[in-house]
Structure 1
């Protein structure tokens, strides 16, 4: 499984020698996200010299997208915007990148393995399907997003769509001023690299070189596109259905101490500073001291976990609020919408991805809609401050 990577600026990654087996030349890669189980990876690659590799068969579904520079595939030369998709098990022609070229490079459902062959006439591997795709995306026209749901102002260029799994890769452009206040979750994972522009949303700032990998069902939203709009190369391991939440709220509870109707009977002057603790009318009362002593005792209790330690107190508070809401409803449902226990797929946690709550699941119209999940604390940028620490 891949970790949740949310709005990390690529400059926060270190460079490694590029894992481009069988090629000649020098290149480095930044590993945006990696699946340590099967070798799938999303990478940013820079070529320090001309680099080339002869015909061969990839072990993974493999994609190359040129951000800057030049790619030549089987004699066809393409500059910035060049895109190449090679299915696993299908013989690919020779490939070359010019010195100084910068690309996005993706492997899916396999590692960096590459087996040389004499030519593209070599036989396919058993089970191989699909065809090689070569595109000049700069020459393609933008189409309005066809799916119902998103606000108007989104445009798309389809690069690759798997007819069996629904996995697809596309360029997406949001016009300047495009905004959507709703929160959304999807049945599939979603990842994107910002190739141009600037957008703000609840996880932080999307600008040039910003990347995220968001597991299935993690709720996100509140988008606003800034001057000039924004463009991403976006991928998902299934059809990107949008399940929206609006008018969202979180309920917090507890016992009031120094506010509310009881304040007149038991006034507590927590605003007093240490300069006001002497004699006279501002001196702390017995009630004040009792509250302070209770607080000190609480902090000294070995069974108490203070803020910032142990389980996240914010998540615990949300869980307690959910429990309270269920107890107040005789039917076992909350007032937050449908009970998430009735929204899970029947076999959600018994398949090969049972260990990964955020893994995408095949979903068809009419199936139960899975509830969103809280994001874990994802890998994120630290030096650029691209994440607000709360998420959604």
Structure 2
């Protein structure tokens, strides 16, 4: 029986199972830690839970137990850690340690992930919850179905979590491979080393080096705001960091004209170049002065090949080197056009693009790649988690 079938069968069992409700303060010991951020040590032996999703390290520990860790401030109701063994705890983070035998700590962890934020929001009507107080935690109602049911729920949710983690690990691996092959295939000046150039003598001698300004230009066209929407307006805020493309825009200008981009243009965020914001257009749209629109003018350059060259770390390092401003550095439009581009013959460019496109699709596509699979798995997990923990 697959995991979905098991989940559906268990949901049917839950509907008829007896459930006792108790306040959290009756089933668990609730307290805070005594450490502060000064106790952080990068090479510490023990996990150090603080007031955020980040887990630091400490050379000393305060607790040796299984517990649920909840930051008392920041990310209220969103951040939970499941601690097992020895750990250190910040003085403004809470530990919830189950003290009754008929409640599974992992079941409680999953339930709080689903229901605690709703509980906090309900208690904060008309105001923003900026911190959690101990009485809030003590009064939080906990369902206690039979222990066997709890254990089955935990087993299924653990499996969903494991599947998602496996996909995330696979995505991280593929992204590393993508970076490696991009560096390798675009290493026409042999900066990587290791004799790469020696094996590609024919390939290298046919490469022509030109500045970006010799093969491309900035878009001079304008587009009216009434032709823009959340899908085709691109501001620096909805370009994603680290070459991750873009998301829907939360703001669309209602008047005036914007810089136009067309299919295959390359859009680069020009504020804080180290964020590596870059996207190749798959439609026509508009943007503002904080985003550069680069359009190819040389028919001997494949647009997708140029995208891969500009998505490389060497370009962003060059951009930062010539950027102006300390707090909010902005790339130099003049210097960017002086960036040197290696241009092999078109057939070679097409081979490079074919290889890198496969990795790009696998690691970034929300319709067919690993991000798509992860999104589906996460949606499935959240659905069953809600159903399995719906005791009200």
Q: Which has the higher helix share?
A: 2
Give the structure with the higher percent strand: 1
Q: Specify if TM > 0.5.
A: no
TM bin, normalised by shorter chain, reads under 0.3
Report the TM-score when normalising by structure 1: 0.23
The normalised TM-score by structure 2 is 0.23
